[in-house]
Structure 1
């Protein structure tokens, strides 16, 4: 085994430092770079072992591995690219993820020591230790790269990882800078979300602490997902997990994108437990995450209510161009102004507008609040009534395993629109009639003989009803006479025209009364009656505004 001291970086150390050895900002980014390297090496399996307490992790793959010459001339050459001869795919037919050859800086700078061994089927292990403390000293002392050698390996740390390892690379990251802060469950979820190479090659597997990472890790998220928009018929095993969808739609696009956007029941469902991370709509190229939260490019849409419910994946392999590198140096975004990226964003804007409208319709259909601020199909009053009715209906909704759930939900849906109308109408009745009572008292308008007679009649009826109900408490908050007069009685005191054909509050009250009483008795009005009641109420409101101004 060739060990350490014979190897050195194939680049000026000052250039290495200026390229940015702290280019990548997160632990998951480092893991992502290692997984991408394994993909490019035609590995079928990547095993990641993470030991948070001991502050180290190991990444092992069964890729083609490297010979002694490859290790020196390719791996240790910062800036080496597999695509220099125009190759866009590996020998196994996979699209290359790596491009500039500086991605390995993420691997080489995340820990105090990086121990590397690698072998091919034909050659033995070669490798060495990158000691970042020593590298810092060599850079500070302006040591020539030829004289800055890799350190000697401690073969003992690799002993258990070399078992049954015929070929591939093993990297042992020792003493991670700032420690491994992320919990294991969190890391597994992010790997399942952000590394979708299996969509390109189903033989590619990722393991974390011996657990195979599949979309099944995202089952809890899938259960909280209610709406799906699938773009250009993407075949994704995650979509098969979405067994509790209430609505779904296929969206066709002439742009060569594919993916899905989905909506959860509550925005809080997008937060990854025990972290500040929130799942969003992300951009992938050849199975690799290239930009998180692509919705941030849409300044208006990203601030809307609907955006806080959405997550998903947009796959646009066209961004992996043979000629141009379209990604930022940090590899965490796409360069601004790229023509292909603009095509994608323009198409996404159209798709998002459709999703926004449909999302609101579906939310209303399923008795949930939609986008109150941006949707103008309902007034603020109607939205408020809808919210109250929906919350009340939820109290009557049977549990998921109830045999009667479908039937009861059908009844609730049938009552929903009428309930919203009646809630609004009752509030209108309550406010207008009580405002008239206050106005009459304020103006000291005397009760007519007819009003006194009606008050005695209704008081007697109330007394009889309370006796029959064995009720000994006061029911009405105010027992004064005006409380027993409804709109017609109040209108006659306030605004009764001598000519029955002239416009007056009393005349409107005659037409208003039967529909008002039906609402008060929880009746369901016909569509014609609803329109008539709404029209009459507008007249009443205008008459009251005129009276109150005088």
Structure 2
């Protein structure tokens, strides 16, 4: 029997007065994040699929799910913003999913983005379909920042639809783009100083929305290894389709550098799983760099985190790192209403510190590996000297010895085209078999010379930068203009030119000394 109060229309949105101040400070100005809140409502309703259809011409967005649908009582609760919190025993949905929503503000999130909001919902086993409309344009203008949500009136009612008695669904139709929505779908092109222009912001609007949603929603990975790693092989599938394309969570590293210990790691009350990945190249798009934090498998915040790298300066391979952090217990009560961060927790600070240390460790590890690879490549280039520290094969041996001391097993392979591969998982270092006989040569005027590096006092020597002994060129590693890797080759060749011309008596010793002194003076800003 229906409650007589449920037949009273129009209804009004009601607000728990304890949450008004929170709502006034927590606006959803990010359109994808607001849309994510509606989709996670479908997840909490045990929907197995959600379809989102966007028509830019008619300024319409339709979100339809296959969830339980809403009864009259559910709808009253739906309109009760930040109403009574769910009891602990209700932290799981009827099908066993952990409930994501806890503040009751999810449906409000899209209000500032549209002029009209309509909803229809139906439960299986009944022919009654609930429907309602909210004229958002009356309460949200492009100029007003806040609105008294308790004054919003909702028109609607019930209709009988006997043709769909076995179906359950909720369908939300949003029409009329406000300025916030238009700015997302039709952004102004901004000039950027980024050399690497690989950014999600360069995607078209629909593709950008798909990317952001796929990075945030509780959907499966496209790489099934990570569904196993994070235990996402659920018996309750959850699929999201945007304009006909199914979304999958993407992975941006093909090598797992480190992951949690089974079944999870724990810091204080926080239980979490994680994976740090790399493909040994810059992660693109750059928004996919660093670690995505998820709480109950839903993305937290608008971007991935590097946790401020407080443990020493990060090295150049930091942007090679990507990965995931799944918080499975211990932080749900501390997540902010806007779901962009957590409130302060000493356990979470310790977790961030742990992750910062791991990112820095692997940044340094990849840089060490890159140093060795650069040296191997340099030995094969007989026309350039870039980094004097890489002229001595002993430097490679020291790096390899350090890895052995850390427990790595050193192996050699004749067909190792990469020169060196550090396998963190198996604690192996696989190097090219010619590593121990590395020598650097350079060709000058069709003659090959062996190149070595030594250091001497450039101020007192007749040859402050370079010396020639038979077929060996010796370069002074302490010479001031050789400290910049970017310009070392240029200055080395400049001094070799003077040295060879002096040896061939094409210039006098006085002219030679004058020129080498002039070089230091003219290029003093390169020291």
Q: TM-score, structure 1 length as denominator?
A: 0.58
- Counterpart of 2:274 (choices 250, 259, 262) is 259
Task: Kindly state the Cα deviation for residue 143 of structure 1 after the two structures are TM-superposed.
Answer: 8.8
Q: Give yes or no for contact 2:273–2:327 (8 Å, CA) kept in 1.
A: yes
Q: Which residue does 1:328 correspond to in 2?
A: 336
- Residues 1:188 and 2:241 aligned together: no
Q: Deviations 1:335-358 (Å, cap 9, x if unpaired)?
A: 12x133134224324433442343
Q: Separation in 2 of the partners of 1:57 and 1:429?
A: 69
Task: Kindly state the Cα deviation for residue 171 of structure 1 after the two structures are TM-superposed.
Answer: 0.8
Q: Separation in 1 of the partners of 2:37 and 2:47?
A: 14
Structure 1, unpaired ranges of 5+? 236-251, 272-276, 370-378, 390-404, 440-453, 455-474, 485-489, 491-550
- Counterpart of 2:318 (choices 301, 304, 307) is 307
Q: Separation in 1 of the partners of 2:173 and 2:375?
A: 50
Larger helix share, 1 or 2: 1
Distance 1:12 1:312, change over 3 A: closer
- Residues 1:316 and 2:327 aligned together: yes
Q: Which residue does 1:522 correspond to in 2?
A: none
Distance 1:479 1:96, change over 3 A: closer
Q: Which residue does 2:403 correspond to in 1?
A: none
Q: Give yes or no for contact 2:15–2:83 (8 Å, CA) kept in 1.
A: no
Structure 2, unpaired ranges of 5+? 1-5, 186-203, 221-231, 377-385, 397-413, 421-430, 443-448, 465-469, 471-495, 510-527
Q: Separation in 2 of the partners of 1:346 and 1:476?
A: 52
Task: Kindly state the Cα deviation for residue 257 of structure 1 after the two structures are TM-superposed.
Answer: 2.0
Larger strand share, 1 or 2: 2
User: Which sits farther off after the overlay, 80-89 or 112-121?
Assistant: 80-89
- Residues 1:10 and 2:35 aligned together: no
State the secondary structure of the residue aligned to 1:122: coil
Q: Which residue does 1:93 correspond to in 2?
A: 96
Q: Which residue does 1:134 correspond to in 2?
A: 138
Task: Kindly state the Cα deviation for residue 129 of structure 1 after the two structures are TM-superposed.
Answer: 1.5
Q: Which residue does 1:393 correspond to in 2?
A: none
- Residues 1:169 and 2:170 aligned together: yes
Task: Kindly state the Cα deviation for residue 195 of structure 1 after the two structures are TM-superposed.
Answer: 1.9
- Counterpart of 2:451 (choices 417, 426, 429) is 426
State the secondary structure of the residue aligned to 2:329: helix
Q: Separation in 2 of the partners of 1:144 and 1:53?
A: 29
- Counterpart of 1:19 (choices 15, 20, 23) is 23
State the secondary structure of the residue aligned to 1:128: strand
Q: Give yes or no for contact 2:120–2:129 (8 Å, CA) kept in 1.
A: yes
Q: Which residue does 2:239 correspond to in 1?
A: 205
State the secondary structure of the residue aligned to 1:114: strand
Distance 1:77 1:48, change over 3 A: same
1:194-233 equivalent positions in 2, closer than 5 A: 194-198=216-220, 199=232, 201=234, 203-215=237-249, 218=250, 222=252, 225=253, 227-232=255-260
Q: Give yes or no for contact 2:40–2:100 (8 Å, CA) kept in 1.
A: yes
Q: Separation in 2 of the partners of 1:477 and 1:380?
A: 21
Q: Give yes or no for contact 2:114–2:136 (8 Å, CA) kept in 1.
A: yes
Q: Give yes or no for contact 1:7–1:128 (8 Å, CA) kept in 2.
A: no
State the secondary structure of the residue aligned to 1:166: coil
Q: Which residue does 1:282 correspond to in 2?
A: 292
TM-align CA RMSD: 4.7
Give aligned pairs, total: 385
Q: Give yes or no for contact 1:114–1:129 (8 Å, CA) kept in 2.
A: yes
